[in-house]
Amino acid sequence: MRIATWNVNSIRSRLAHIQEWLSKNPVDILCLQETKVVDEQFPHASFPGYTCTIAGQKSYNGVAILSKIPPQLTAIGFAPVLGVEATGDLDEQKRLLHIQVQGLHIVNVYVPNGQSVGSEKYEYKLRWLRALYRYLGHFSQASLPVCVCGDWNIAPTDLDIYDPQGKSEHIMASPPERQAFADVLSLSFCDSFRLFSQTGGQFTWWDYRAGAFRRNQGWRIDHILVSSNLQSAAKHCWIDREPRTWPQPSDHAPVVLELR
């Protein structure tokens, strides 16, 4: 089984790219972030052979999962696990989607960017991450096989930034964000990409400005985490840079995990 994650930065703007990529890479499950479209306008018919599970929002956010196997279960947001009172306003933005396929749980996340360290949006991001920790704890305690895919907007270590100098006060690399990522790993998850590569210079996001992609001045902020009971099934995980070379690309590249 192949599972991929990709922040497409508008499904309408990148529809042809997604279709082309799937024709070359017919993965079993594709998690998309930043679809930026309401549910009624999601292009289901553009993905024959896939069941589309969606949680959309106009102009911002939005997540979707394309699956060749129809899901046995679908759920949107934190509330189905944490309850409405504990979730508060965190489900107002469409950032989390869960499906179950043949006993495998797929959680698709679009973690808030946070704007800048110390801002209100940064505090919202940390609050959202604390909720994610509690949410994923439910799956961990039940020893369920889980893949958590998505744009985490966190570079876990200095290896994941082209130039880490001075980035500790930068959004996506601040100690509280990295600690939140580490806390999730402590729930018996592992970063699948790091199972197969321990080298730097491998990124999933490059700013559109200043020739960042051409210079490979990127960050690795898109991740697929797997629960410990899936670790032995992980065969390979890689970043596909090719779509970032296409005209008018997303600023993110897909990440693909292959399970035995």
- pLDDT at position 174 is 97
Per-residue DSSP letter, 82: H
pLDDT band at 60 (very low <50, low <70, confident <90, very high): very high
- pLDDT at position 241 is 98
Instruction: Look at residue 75 and give its three-state secondary structure.
Output: strand
Percent of the chain topping pLDDT 90: 99
3-class SS letters over 204-231: CEECCCCCCCCCCCEECCEEEEEEHHHH
pLDDT band at 34 (very low <50, low <70, confident <90, very high): very high
- pLDDT at position 219 is 98
Q: What is the pLDDT of residues 171-224, one digit of tens each?
A: 999 999 999 999 999 999 999 999 999 999 999 999 999 999 999 999 999 999
Which two structure tokens, joined as six digits, stand for 208? Answer: 């559109």
Topology (CATH) of 2-259? Deoxyribonuclease I; Chain A (3.60.10)
What is the residue extent of each domain of the chain? 2-259
DSSP H helices in 83-152 = 84-87, 120-141
Q: Which residues pair with 66 in a beta bridge?
A: 30, 52
Rg, Å, the chain Cα set: 17
pLDDT band at 59 (very low <50, low <70, confident <90, very high): very high
Contacts of 38 (CB under 8 A, 6+ apart): 56, 57, 58
Average pLDDT, the chain: 97
- pLDDT at position 231 is 96
- pLDDT at position 138 is 97
Q: What is the pLDDT of residues 116-173, one digit of tens each?
A: 999 999 999 999 999 999 999 999 999 999 999 999 999 999 999 999 999 989 999 9
pTM (2 decimals)? 0.98
